[in-house]
């Protein structure tokens, strides 16, 4: 391969984290090969180089396993979603997870009306479409003392590249927020600490100047509860998974991050 072709290939690798990792490995081994092949007087120091060439791929392998296990959503660049198959898979995963989350809610009896399924599809399509061209943070704090109840909802967000930190109580959430910033916060209402603990957390954050977009995800969808949530400073309150998805993805897309501490 001549220099121009290599440069063109390298340019393509720089469009995603996985490509950058691959390019780094190729360059490291390329320089090592040059040193071995063209270096003079290195025979006395060849042993460290041999150890490096043997153990470097092992270190890279375990590092890659760690990335896949803990940060798999960060391994893709924007260009990966230019592929229609990749984009459709993320859309379908979000729709399926939101549908599953909706069906498990009281009143559906395991059945999802066609009209509601179409609404979920439209929400995912319109919301996700806006994400492709915007640079955004993608970390959300979810406060709930029963996080196992929200598995499907989190899967819907994760298909769009959202990452979650979980907190089981108000104090744990406050501690996390002392050292981390998030694009949005989702909170239930009643917890072991109290029946309106969602408002307690929200009021504490607003009192210290934390303006992170806040969404209440609880058992009620009554208009008066939505109004009360907005009066406390939340951007919305709902018991519907599709509405939650729309609210949070909208906050993430707008980039309304907290800058006051």
Give dist(CA 31, CA 205) in Å, integer: 52
Residue 12 — very low, low, confident or very high, per pLDDT cuts 50/70/90? low
Lowest mean pLDDT among 8-22, 44-58, 246-260: 8-22
| Among 200, 174, 185, residue whose Cα is nearest residue 235 | 185
Q: Which pLDDT value is given to residue 128?
A: 60
For the ranges 58-67, 156-165, 239-248, which has the lowest average pLDDT?
Answer: 58-67
Q: In this structure, are residues 257 and 212 in contact, taking their beta carbons and an 8 Å threshold?
A: yes
User: From CA 67, how far away is CA 154, in angstroms rounded?
Assistant: 20
- pLDDT higher than threshold 70 for residue 31: yes
Q: What are phi and psi of 171, to 5 degrees?
A: -65, -40
Please state, in angstroms and rounded to a whole number, the distance separating the CA atoms of residues 217 and 169.
15
* Cβ atoms 199, 187 nearer than 8 A: no
Domain positions in the chain are 3-74, 80-254
* pLDDT 10s digits, 92-136: 888 888 888 888 777 666 677 778 788 888 888 777 644 443 434
* Residue 143: per-residue pLDDT: 97
Question: Could you tell me which residues come within 8 angstroms of residue 60 by beta carbon, excluding any fewer than 6 positions away?
Answer: 21, 25
Q: In the predicted model, is pLDDT for residue 220 greater than 70? A: yes
Q: Which CATH class is domain 80-254?
A: alpha beta
Q: Residue 32's closest CA among 48, 53, 46?
A: 53
- Residue 79 predicted with pLDDT over 60: no
Residue with more model confidence, 29 or 235: 235
Of the two residues 36 and 147, the one the predictor is more confident about is 147
Q: Is the pTM of this model over 0.85?
A: no
């Amino acid at each position: 391969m001549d220099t121009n072709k290599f440069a063109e290939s390298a340019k393509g690798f720089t469009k995603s984290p996985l490509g950058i990792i691959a390019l780094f490995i190729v360059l490291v081994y390329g320089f090592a090969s040059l040193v071995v092949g063209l270096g003079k007087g290195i025979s006395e120091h060849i042993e460290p180089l041999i150890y490096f060439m043997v153990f470097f791929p092992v270190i890279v392998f375990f590092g890659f396993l760690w990335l896949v296990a803990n940060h798999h959503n960060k391994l893709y660049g924007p260009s990966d979603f230019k592929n229609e198959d990749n984009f459709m898979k993320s859309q379908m995963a979000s729709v399926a997870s939101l549908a599953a989350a909706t069906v498990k809610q009281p009143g559906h009896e395991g059945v999802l009306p066609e009209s509601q399924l179409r609404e979920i599809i439209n929400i995912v399509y319109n919301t996700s479409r806006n994400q492709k061209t915007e640079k955004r943070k993608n970390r959300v704090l979810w406060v709930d003392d029963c996080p196992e109840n929200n598995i499907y909802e989190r899967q819907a967000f994760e298909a769009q590249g959202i990452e979650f930190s979980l907190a089981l109580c108000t104090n744990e959430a406050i501690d996390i927020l002392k050292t981390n910033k998030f694009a949005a916060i989702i909170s239930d209402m009643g917890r072991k600490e109290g029946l309106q603990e969602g408002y307690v957390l929200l009021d504490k954050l607003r009192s210290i100047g934390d303006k992170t977009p806040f969404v209440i995800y609880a058992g009620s969808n009554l208009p008066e509860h939505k109004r009360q949530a907005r009066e406390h400073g939340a951007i919305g309150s709902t018991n519907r998974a599709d509405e939650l998805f729309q609210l949070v993805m909208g906050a993430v897309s707008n980039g309304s991050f907290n800058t006051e501490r």
